[in-house]
Each structure stands twice: as structure tokens, then as C-alpha cells.
Structure 1
């Protein structure tokens, strides 16, 4: 089972904020603004991204028709997330877990 640590280094590697699925989300933008003002480590559910670790988004305005960019993310490559489930669209399908 893949174990990705939730830390600032991995948050910086995350490409979700650039992803077309999340890109036009007002909710994600507002979450990002709040996180940038936090002193210290935010809770995973507060971060607009890194869904491979935290699971589905709480935002309801994501463009589920947009092209997922997970395979371009350094975390996806580093942890071989293509071999895990769901392999992409973590924001809608949940965090990475072993295939059955």
C-alpha cells in the first residue's frame, strides 16, 4: 500500500491547483486563500489539492468533464499511483489505495 506523507513538500509537488478539473472552482480558490494564511500545517481536508492523500474534494463546483492531470504530477510518478486505485481523478473518486 502506498503511504504518501501529508507535508508541505508534497503539497508543493501537487498539481491539483493547475488541473482543469479544479481550475475554475471558486470553492478551491477560496480554500487556497485560507490555507496560504495558515501558520503551520493545515489539515488535509482544508487543502485544495493533494486528493491522492486526503480523498474526495468537499467542493461541489469542480468540472468533472475536465481532463484529469494526475499523471503529470510528481507525486503520481514518485509513488506509482497509476498502479493504485483509482489512478486519477482522486478529487472525485477518493484517495489512492491498492488495487484489488
Structure 2
């Protein structure tokens, strides 16, 4: 099982905010806006990303036809997530295992 820490360093490495799957998501943009104004450490529900750690998104307005950006993500590369299950689209398929 993959053990990726949910922390600010990994959040910064995450490419999800520029992912076309969530590009038109009002929910994701609201979370991103809230995150930018937040002080302290965010939780998984506060971040529009890190789905490889937190699992499926709670947002219901994602575009599943968009191109997944996971293979461009430094977290994905560092933890060899292409070799695990699922290999991408964590926002739809759940966290990395």
C-alpha cells in the first residue's frame, strides 16, 4: 500500500488545480479560493486536489472527459503511482493503493 503524507509540501507539488477534469468545477474553485485565504494546515476536505491521498472528490461538477494531469504531478512521479491502482483519475477512482 502506498503511504503518501497529506502535508503542505505535497499539496504544493500536486497538479490537480490545473487539471482539465476540474477546470470548470465551481466546487473546486471555491475550495481553491478558501485554501488561499486559509491560515494553518488544511485538511483533505479543504484542498481541491491530493485525491491520490484523500480519495474521490466530494465535488459533483467535475468533467470526466477531461485529460487527467496525474502523470505530470511530482507526487505521482515520486511515489510511482503509475504502477499502482488506480493509476490516475484519483478524483473519480479513489486514492492510490
* Same structural fold, with TM-score higher than 0.5 when normalized by the shorter chain: yes
Superposed, 1:1-100 pairs within 5 Å as 1-97=1-97
Deviation, structure 1 residue 45: 1.8
Unaligned runs of 5+ in 2: none
Alpha-carbon shift at residue 5 of structure 1 (Å):
0.6
Whole-Å separation in 2 of the counterparts to 1:45 and 1:86: 21
**TM superposition outliers: structure 1 runs of 4+ over 4 Å:** none
TM-score (normalizing by structure 2): 0.96
Task: For structure 1, list consecutive stretches of 5 or more residues without a partner in the other structure.
Answer: none
The alignment of Structure 1 onto Structure 2 pairs a total of residues equal to: 97
Question: How far, CA to CA, are the matches of 2:81 and 2:96 in structure 1?
Answer: 7
